[in-house]
Structures are given as C-alpha cells and as structure tokens.
Amino acid sequence: MTTNSFDLIIIGGGPGGYVAAIRAAQLGFKVACVEKNNTLGGTCLNEGCIPSKALLNSSEKFAELTENNLQKIGVNFKGLSLSIDKMMNNKNDIVDGLTKGIDQLFRKNKISRLFGTGTISKPGEVIIQNGKDKGKYNCEKIIIATGSEPISIPGIEIDEKKIISSKGALELNKIPKKMLVVGAGYIGLEMGTVWSRLGSEVQVIDSLPRILPGMDNEVASKFKTILEKDGIKFHLNSLVKSIKQDKSSLKISLTDSESKVHSELNSDVVLIAVGRKPYNESLGLEKLGIQLSKIGRIEVDKKFQTNIKGIFAIGDVIEGPMLAHKAEEDGVAAVEIMAGIAGHVDYGLIPGIVYTNPEVASIGRTEEELKNIGKSFNKGTFPFLANSRARATGDTQGFVKLLADSKSDKLLGAHIIGSNAGTLIHEIATAMAFGASAEDIARTCHAHPTMNEAVKEAALSLGSGAIHI
C-alpha cells in the first residue's frame, strides 16, 4: 500500500522526471512520481526519440539495399521485400523493453509510481484527480516535469489520421504515396527521411528561408543538398494557408512569403512538425500564482525553484532546448541542489543532433552567432572524403567544422555532418567542458583508422594545417 507522505513528488515520468526520481532516491529522498500514462518514459521513449530512431535504423537498412549500395562492395541479394507490420512491431518491442526497464529501476530504487493526473493544490500538496492512485499526497518539495506537446498551425486540426503529428508519423500502417512535411526542423526532417527511404514522395515546407534553424548555416546548407539528392523536395519561405480534404487526397494551399505567389500541393498525409509547447495543463499553476514567461514556460531561478517556495520545474516546461538529455541534466541538477550538492547544467554545451543519414550534430556557438556578437574566431574544417575510415565504409559525405577563439585558441563551437556525427560530437563536448583549445585536440593521439581522425584533422587545420588534405 502506497503511503501518502513523501520528501519529493515529481509530476511527470518523462526523461526529466524519471531521471530526477532515480537520482533523488539515490541521494536518500523518499520519492513518488506521478504519471497519467500507462508507461513511464514520456514522449521521448514512447512516441518520440526512441521509436523514431528505431524506424530511422530500419529505413536506412532498407534504403541501403534498394539503392544497390551493397552490390558495389560485392554483396548481392534477391527477393527484397518490406513488411511495415514487422518494422512497427520491432519498434514497439524496443519501446516496451525500455519502459519495463524504467519500471524495474523504480522498484530497485524504491520509488513510488503513482498513476493519474497530478494537480498542485498548494505548496507541499499534490492531488491525483483520477486513476487508481486517486487521492491527496503530502510532500516537502514538488518538481514539475510535465514536458511538452506538439503545436499545430492556426485553423488546422491534427487528427492523427491524415493530418498527423510526429506521434502519427510513427504509427502509419502503410507507406503513403505522398507525404507533405510542414516544418524543416529536427522532427520534420527525421520523419520525412524515414518515409522517403521507404518509398514516399516527400516534400518539406517551411516559412523560413533555410532548414534547421539554429544550426550552423554551412552545415544546414550542405544537408539540404544531400536531402535533395536523395529525392526530398523543399518549399522554403512558404506559408501554409489551408489544408482541405478532397475525395482522394489533401489539398494544401501555400503562399510564398516573398513573392506572395499562391500554389497548391496534393498529399496523402500531412505531417505537422512546426514545434512544441510546454504542457502545463491541469497543474493549477494560475491558482498558485506561479510565474510564466510570455510563451508559457515556467520561470525558475538557478536552483530550478519557481517563485513559490518548495515548487520546482525542469525540462521542456522551463527555458532551454526541448531535448530529452537537457531535461535529464535539469532533473539531476535540481535534486542534487536540494541535497546540498553543487548541481549544475552548462546550457552552452547541450549537443543538438539530427539522427538522419548522414547525421548532423552541433555544440556551442555557430559561425553566424560569433559574427553577430563580434567575436574574433578561426575556422577549421576537414572533409570525410579525406578520412581513411570513411572511405573504407563509403561514408564520405560531410565534414567536421571547428570554431576557436582567434587569440586563445579555445574551442567555441563544433558542427559535424556525416556518419555517426552524433557520437563524434561528444569528444568535442568533453573537450569544451574542460576549456580545451583546438591544439589540445590536435595533439591528442587518435586511433587509425577512425572517423574521429577527422576531428583531429579539423583541429590541426586551425594550427599549422591538416595532414591529409
């Protein structure tokens, strides 16, 4: 039987919430985690990061075979076929295994899992409005970790059938002949890539003149060229005015924001991927007087505490990138500070990764940001085409780009497009966390042949020059 009194109650069992719960339990807190869904892990694990990566992996392997990329290395095959059902079952099995893993971690750390929708009635009191654990619970501290939800375009309703969010894109039971993606950010490009590889005719619309806003422009431009070569079409500087259901398809009306020219596209499915907003409904924030920003995020201090003593917030509901790993860092830091430990998150060193093929990864400042603030810097690049391991595996698209202070040589930013960019970026993240210079990386021995040598060569190019180009 669950007790009704705790040291800490966390509302939300996503990456921020469940990680905060585990860390708090490790530090000796008596912890409960309130989650309204049947499984823990939040959007990321259940309908975001993990299932999308499973489909990206499956679709990449399928595309590698259909495009005959293996025949040139002597791998021949016959009778290639695709089972969407099996692909989706594999995705679901992965998610199921990981959610059960979190349940086991909760049992191991003696964390109380409370089912239902949590409302903060007052500081130190949480009421679960429904579910099997309906009731009133007392605590010393509360963490809000309710995450975010997709937003749509004004006047357009997401029905998860024809007009879908990322959740719907992960659950399609057949390959649409045509897919229109609204939004050229992380989510839109990842999901667009999945269905393009599986045979959909994919077009991407965005109101901005470029893809991947916030990422380095040189990298984004190269990535767009690669995606276009793979068959994805782009309509940039374009605004969606309406989406109407016809007998057999959807009619999408567009307006070019510069020329004001109107056009119309047809599609079987429209994926809306224009961003997310904090999910803070049913929490009772207004009644409590908790301060929100203009865009609805909960305002917190350096200790993650709101303007109400004893109530804290982490993850997507506060400022910063809406990324699972950022939420996890928030959660660990928040409970460590509660325990008297010097918890800390360096928001300047949060990696951003697009898990396509090739991958795109970024950390620190972009070239455009440094120019805007008048920071003097040097740029070093190295193409994977000149990397031995990349040549051996056929992964020669893209490059490594490092930015360093022109006086101190301290690393200011790194941007990679290429195979396993999401893994390579962490070498640079660690270096930057310790205040390393480009020379520090250049003088570190890198095993041969590895993709990491491209990072070393980019660092060398900031000094006396790269060796292999």
Domains and CATH numbers, the chain: 5-149+277-347 (3.50.50.60), 163-274 (3.50.50.60), 358-461 (3.30.390.30)
The per-residue pLDDT for 259 is 86
How many C-beta neighbours within 10 Å does residue 276 have? Answer: 19
* pTM for the structure as a whole: 0.94
DSSP character string of 222-255 = HHHHHHHHTT-EEE-SEEEEEEEE-SSSEEEEEE
At 246, the amino acid letter reads D
User: Mind telling me the catalytic residues?
Assistant: 448
What is the CA angle 273-277-282, rounded to 5? 135
Three-state SS for 275?
A: coil
The per-residue pLDDT for 245 is 87
Largest CA distance in the chain: 68
Omega into 358 within 30° of 0, i.e. cis?
A: yes
Q: Are the CB atoms for 8 and 110 separated by under 8 Å?
A: no
Residues in CB range of 96: below 8 A, 6 or more apart: none
Return the beta strands (E) in 86-177 as ranges. Answer: 112-115, 118-122, 125-128, 135-144, 148-150, 163-164
- Look at residues 187, 190, 185, 201 and name the one whose alpha carbon lies nearest to residue 249: 201
Rounded to whole angstroms, how far apart are CA atoms 39 and 98? 10
Rg of the chain over all Cα atoms, to the nearest angstrom:
24
Return the beta strands (E) in 123-196 as ranges. Answer: 125-128, 135-144, 148-150, 163-164, 178-182
The whole-number mean pLDDT for each consecutive block of 10 residues of the chain, a chain of 469 residues, reads 85 98 98 96 94 95 80 81 94 97 98 96 95 94 97 92 95 96 97 96 96 96 96 96 88 91 94 95 93 95 97 97 97 98 94 96 97 97 98 96 98 97 98 98 98 98 94
Residues in CB range of 89: below 8 A, 6 or more apart: none
The enclosing H or E element of 362 equals strand 359-364
Rounded to whole angstroms, how far apart are CA atoms 164 and 88? 17
Q: Are the CB atoms for 178 and 210 separated by under 8 Å?
A: no
Counting every residue written for the chain, the total comes to 469
Q: Are the CB atoms for 424 and 398 separated by under 8 Å?
A: no
The per-residue pLDDT for 1 is 42
132: DSSP letter:
T
The per-residue pLDDT for 2 is 56
